[in-house]
Amino acid sequence: MARSALITGASSGLGAEYARQLAAEGADLVLVARDRSALDDLAQGLRSAYGVQVEVLAADLLEPRRLAEVEERLADSRRPIEVLVNNAGFGLPLSFERNDIDDEVGHLRLHVEVPMRLTHAALGAMLARGHGRILNVASVAAFIPRSTYGASKGWLVSFSRWANGRYAARGVTVTAVCPGYTHTQFHERMGLAPGEEGVPAGLWLNARDVVAESLRAAARGAAVSVPSLRYKLLAGLARIAPPSLAARVGESGR
């Protein structure tokens, strides 16, 4: 059982669900997100429900100074972090040619540079102790062409596969979590009301199930977790589908 965990993007959605499930296992938590009020509310509820210690770090991870503060917290051997969940992220419209390029650069940094830096910060202390787990929340879009979102998540999966193979023998596992469409606030933040995403009801997943399955996969030392059989099959088919067909599939939903 993990004794402590740091979770980014913890104020809602999958991040908040990771916080609840890890707290239920008795882990003390460090919650990271931009919205301090939401973090404080979540922290208070977790302390009351599970009796764990919860530290709040309100930080915009695209601000170098705030990102450095989170890196320092992860590297602090006096207050060890057993589990790192790199979950912070956001989506952009699929029309790359119409998106603001600075928004795209920030999107790339948050999905690639930030988890890379935080993984690097956590690894030193974890390897010194000889144990630790890192979960990088990617997406099934890593296997299906989907503009720059799928590209960034593909990088995260490839990096996690390599890191798991490199460090698992030294006690530190790295797992890329690749859910499909999951009921969270992710799509609402893109301006989409429920039912507007254009995704069949049968493809939606429950956040609680996604998190539980990914934590089991990480405990087994799996390099990749694709929650649900339907998405395992879809990811497998995408690998052998012609690129033009895979790209059309990637256009589903918004």
Mean pLDDT of the chain: 87
Q: 232 pLDDT exceeds 70? A: no
Q: In what order do the strands lie in the sheet with 54-58?
A: 54-58, 28-33, 4-8, 83-86, 132-137, 172-177, 224-225
Distance CA 163, CA 151 (A): 18
pTM of the model: 0.86
Look at residue 205 in the predicted model and tell me its pLDDT: 81
| Range 178-193 average pLDDT | 60
Instruction: Return the domain boundaries, the chain.
Output: 4-250
pLDDT for 199:
56
Q: What is the DSSP string of 68-109?
A: HHHHHHHH-TTS--SEEEE-------S-GGGS-HHHHHHHHI
pLDDT for position 181: 77
Confidence of residue 249 (pLDDT cuts 50, 70, 90): very low
Residues labelled as active-site residues: 149
Q: Is the pLDDT of residue 13 over 50?
A: yes
Angle at 67 between CA 214 and CA 126, to 5 degrees: 50
Highest mean pLDDT among 93-97, 156-160, 232-236: 156-160
3-state helix, strand, coil in the chain (%, to 5): 55, 15, 30
pLDDT, tens digit, for every residue of 45-74?
999 999 999 999 999 999 999 999 999 999
Direct distance between the N- and C-terminal alpha carbons of the chain, in angstroms, rounded to an integer: 37
User: Residue 246 pLDDT more than 50?
Assistant: no
pLDDT for residue 132 is more than 80:
yes
Q: How far apart are CA 189 and CA 191, in angstroms?
A: 5
Check residue 230 and give its pLDDT: 59
pLDDT greater at residue 238 or residue 32: 32
- Label residue 37 by pLDDT band (50, 70, 90): very high
Token digits of residue 47: 């302390």
Q: 3-class secondary structure for 98-146?
A: HCCHHHHHHHHHHHHHHHHHHHHHHHHHHHHHCCEEEEEECCHHHHCCE
| pLDDT at residue 144 in the model | 84
Residues with Cβ < 8 Å from 103, sequence gap 6 or more?
92
- Lowest-pLDDT choice from 12-16, 20-24, 233-237: 233-237
Q: For 9, left (φ over 0), alpha (ψ -120 to 50), or beta?
A: left
Confidence of residue 187 (pLDDT cuts 50, 70, 90): very low
CATH class of 4-250: alpha beta
Confidence band of 94 (pLDDT split at 50, 70, 90): confident
SS3 151: helix
